Structure 1
């Protein structure tokens, strides 16, 4: 869940721009100014912003198959999306859209998608690309970086990957030689979950031994579900700061608390239910989200449980389309303000609206209305079940948009990551 991928203000830094980049911390600080620093919520928001000033998502956790279907993406699509790990934009290139505009508040996510775009253009073939971003743990990746990528990166992206997280640590680009998906805030947190589970006497990776859906359920009940019933996990599940590493900001945490209260269950059981959906509802052969959560890597043997952009049949379309992607270190609202009227027909907001207040949502949707073409679609996710729009937006802003709760429920059930309470689709009526 992705606080860092949204919200308010500052200047643009596009892929082809030479102007100074606004700092991630400034963008994040501005994003949390909707709450007083003297309130508990304000303090939590600012702590969350500080916590997220780094690489958070080595991989995105929204299912692109759901997005592609819900947004009805095709060759005529003009897409606006938050970057996060950059996987979504590259996955959308498989349908050869007309254009993709990408924004993110976090410079680490910007550097990651720019590295991926450079790799699509300059690495010699699909095998080299898959080694770099699919296996992401080979010593030869650093040789490919120096030979093909480093000479073709802009100065800001180069500075990020040549830099270090800690003075005594390795360069960030070396993450691709020892398991990139184990890095980043979420990757490290998943590793901590595995370690903690082992200390409690369980091994959650054993769910990956399943060969059928029935076996997935049995192994989950034996090796994963009991972890959520331990005193330690019950305690940690009710501490919002612990869940920051899962990308759950304070407002989303409160939504989940409300949902768990409505269902008369503890937070640990709500988290257990979502983990069960991830592990048991979909065939492990193709669910790369489960592979990353429980096996900490993609399916590098059969190449089935991998995202579209890492699948050989899609590679030609993805690599040819990279020039149709523009990247901006900027908020959604500010980038939309700079775009022409009726210039977009597909918007992917991830879960960024969850913690925006009514004023921020109103400013965002004023620009959505201005930039939307007839029949445009907006897709987003929420930590809870319900959409925040009807409660927080002036009715006039939604008067031309339609949503269907039954269809939304179907897409929620289809999302293989299983971690969200709701997937919502809004369609612009002519």
Structure 2
């Protein structure tokens, strides 16, 4: 980008993330996380909230505390609604809203839980509870990530590929899925759409900064490989991460762990261990004395690597100051290696790429180059 284009892009990206709910569901595989983290009742976790699906999943392992932080209060408002439904209502109320993202009785459900919400959460949901209206798009096609998903679905429909995508999702036979994929990929990656979907302005809706997209050498080739892995090699029928955006809803047999009925009792028992704060990582670590055994940073550092290296270094110093001996640090990245990290980090943290322990291949999201697990020495 030239300087003017970059300035306009930064303004656009900042506007989106300062004014809208971005993530309506978490985009990191919680099953992978739980396998890597080994949480237990001694664990103290600091994580970026996002949509909160994974924070709730971690509660199933009984950690002592989870502190969820997010600079966008709208993300915390989404999680706060889930928390209060779990704590004060029942599984039916939770699933009525969040399984399909819409329900005829959404206003009645909201009115019963509204008094328990934090003030900022009430402010947000009083305006946007309509996301759950049965006559609207539904939660999972709202928020900017939901809008991005709608645009991708429109491209698939325009190309006449929606029936093939549905068959891919629901075909048990791997060989049949491969045939469908081979007959579809040429049309999928042709024409204007092969450029439109990866336009920086559009990727901003999905929370993908330009620097992160540029870290992948060939986005089209990367995504072709990802889609083959997820829709052919794996069984996509159980991939709720992609199905929710392709179908607009979850189902009882394909949904995040916090929406599985058998987990509700444990969630209710442990829900008081999850706290939320609208803050960024630097602010939180600068004003807390808490030490943590686990840090879950999503792809947060990709956002800072190119534009804010000094702040990234400061953040790592604070992380290490607040890390218990042997603390675990989990994050994703689009970068092929860790050369973007401050050099001093490597003297204090040993990193393992999940690819090297045969876990990455099970990942049902697939849009990150690497999943990294660091252990503080």
State TM-score, norm by structure 1.
0.80
Post-superposition offset of 1:215? 2.9
CA contact (8 A) 1:98 1:324 kept: yes
Residue 105 (structure 1) aligns with: 71
1:151 paired residue among 86, 92, 115: 115
- Cα separation, 1, equivalents of 2:284 and 2:53: 20
Post-superposition offset of 1:322? 1.5
CA contact (8 A) 1:41 1:250 kept: no
Residue 114 (structure 1) aligns with: 80
After superposition, what is the alpha-carbon deviation per residue over 1:178-200, rounded to whole angstroms, capped at 9, x for unaligned?
Answer: 32112111112212211222212
- Cα separation, 2, equivalents of 1:391 and 1:201: 41
- Cα separation, 2, equivalents of 1:48 and 1:315: 37
- Cα separation, 1, equivalents of 2:322 and 2:85: 31
2:278 paired residue among 329, 339, 352: 329
Post-superposition offset of 1:209? 2.9
More displaced stretch, 98-107 vs 332-341? 332-341
- Cα separation, 1, equivalents of 2:197 and 2:129: 33
CA contact (8 A) 1:81 1:103 kept: yes
Residue 289 (structure 2) aligns with: 340
Residue 359 (structure 1) aligns with: 310
Instruction: Indicate how the Cα distance of structure 1 residues 352 and 227 shifts in structure 2: closer, same or farther if over 3 A, else same.
Output: farther
Instruction: Indicate how the Cα distance of structure 1 residues 226 and 103 shifts in structure 2: closer, same or farther if over 3 A, else same.
Output: same
Post-superposition offset of 1:321? 1.4
- Cα separation, 2, equivalents of 1:278 and 1:45: 32
Residue 7 (structure 1) aligns with: none
Instruction: Indicate how the Cα distance of structure 1 residues 237 and 312 shifts in structure 2: closer, same or farther if over 3 A, else same.
Output: closer
2:189 paired residue among 210, 229, 234: 229
Residue 293 (structure 1) aligns with: 245
- Cα separation, 2, equivalents of 1:110 and 1:408: 34
Residue 225 (structure 2) aligns with: 273
After superposition, what is the alpha-carbon deviation per residue over 1:264-318, rounded to whole angstroms, capped at 9, x for unaligned?
Answer: xxx32222222333323322342211311332221x2xx2321111112211111
Post-superposition offset of 1:406? 6.1
Query: Structure 1 residue 160 and structure 2 residue 124: aligned?
Result: yes
After superposition, what is the alpha-carbon deviation per residue over 1:183-238, rounded to whole angstroms, capped at 9, x for unaligned?
Answer: 11111221221122221222133322312333333323334x23432211223245
CA contact (8 A) 2:141 2:245 kept: no
More displaced stretch, 316-325 vs 408-417? 408-417
Residue 402 (structure 1) aligns with: 350
Structure 2 counterparts to residues 108-257 of structure 1, below 5 A? 108-123=74-89, 125-146=90-111, 148-163=112-127, 172-178=128-134, 179-203=138-162, 204-223=165-184, 225-237=185-197, 239-256=199-216
Output the aligned Cα RMSD. 2.0
Query: Structure 1 residue 51 and structure 2 residue 16: aligned?
Result: yes
- Cα separation, 1, equivalents of 2:77 and 2:143: 13
After superposition, what is the alpha-carbon deviation per residue over 1:162-191, rounded to whole angstroms, capped at 9, x for unaligned?
Answer: 11xxxxxxxx11212332112111112212
Helix, strand or coil: the match of 1:95?
Answer: coil
Helix, strand or coil: the match of 1:326?
Answer: strand
More displaced stretch, 403-412 vs 110-119? 403-412
Instruction: Indicate how the Cα distance of structure 1 residues 85 and 336 shifts in structure 2: closer, same or farther if over 3 A, else same.
Output: same
Helix, strand or coil: the match of 1:135?
Answer: coil
2:370 paired residue among 395, 412, 422: 422
- Cα separation, 1, equivalents of 2:335 and 2:253: 31
Helix, strand or coil: the match of 1:426?
Answer: strand
CA contact (8 A) 2:23 2:206 kept: no
Unaligned runs of 5+ in 1: 1-36, 164-171, 261-266
Helix, strand or coil: the match of 1:56?
Answer: coil
CA contact (8 A) 1:95 1:317 kept: no
CA contact (8 A) 1:278 1:419 kept: no
Residue 269 (structure 2) aligns with: 320
Post-superposition offset of 1:411? 3.2
CA contact (8 A) 1:208 1:294 kept: no
Post-superposition offset of 1:157? 0.9
- Cα separation, 2, equivalents of 1:216 and 1:196: 21
Post-superposition offset of 1:122? 1.1
Unaligned runs of 5+ in 2: none
Helix, strand or coil: the match of 2:372?
Answer: strand
- Cα separation, 1, equivalents of 2:110 and 2:33: 31
